[in-house]
A and B are shown apart, each in its own frame.
Chain A
Amino acid sequence: EVQLVESGGGLVQPGGSLRLSCAASGFAFSNFALTWVRQAPGKGLEWVSSISGHSGSTFYTDSVKGRFTISRDNSKNTLYLQMNSLRAEDTALYYCARDSVVVPAGQDSFSYWGQGTLVTVSS
């Protein structure tokens, strides 16, 4: 059974940092790209970042470029999102999702999702 378990969320002041983690199990971790999707309270889904199976390719939405860094440790079956210079508009539930392909491109979809970890940016 595929499982994705996020952690690391919390309350942080504007300008602060957080590191989210997503522990995965139940599938061949390095064979799939992974993605972070966020959902602000009462709002829709927003793609944040994706990383290929062997970390060779990373992708970011413009609003987080230069502030967030996605990475993965295939030896630990864990995905990360380092979030720096946090802003109020980054407040959201952050989901880890498993892609359907090894390199995010074309016929890709988010087949499995974690329960999410809440990030609140407020003074």
Chain B
Amino acid sequence: DIQMTQSPSSLSASLGDRVTITCRSSQSIRNYLNWYKQKPGKVPELLISAASSLHSGVPSRFSGGGSGTDFTLTISSLQPEDFATYYCQQSYNFPWTFGQGTKVEIK
């Protein structure tokens, strides 16, 4: 199975901060990498697919990059609604696997 490792597991940031979350896969997954956001008690939402394609309706302050084994999710200016847990997920090989999540909290 492909292991997905996110770092950090949690971070504290202030409104307006630039935040970057990293996701590393245990083998190359080309660009078959998706990012999801989940607020407490809410349903996960797709943010980015294919490493860098913004899903419809997602604000442009979100961006994704990377290929192979190393990927990033960047929020250019943190907004109140961005405090949530973020997950990466690979769709290169079954079983599809998720990272453990990165919780973004208010400083």
Contact = CB atoms under 8 A, between A and B. Distances in A.
B66 to A, nearest CB: 15
Contact of B95 (A62, A100, A111, A114): A62
B34 interface: yes
Contacts of B99: 44
24 contacts: A44-B99, A44-B100, A45-B44, A45-B87, A45-B89, A45-B98, A45-B101, A46-B98, A47-B95, A60-B95, A62-B95, A95-B43, A95-B44, A104-B94, A107-B32, A107-B50, A108-B91, A109-B34, A109-B55, A111-B55, A112-B46, A113-B43, A113-B45, A114-B43
A109 B48 CA distance: 9
B32 A106 contact: yes
Give chain A's interface residue range (CB within 8 Å of chain B). Answer: 20 to 34
Interface of B: 32, 34, 36, 38, 43-46, 49-50, 55, 87, 89, 91-92, 94-101
A110 interface: yes
A110 B44 contact: yes
A61 interface: yes
Nearest to B50: A107
A115 interface: yes
Interface of A: 35, 37, 44-47, 50, 59-62, 95, 100, 104-116
A60 B89 CA distance: 16
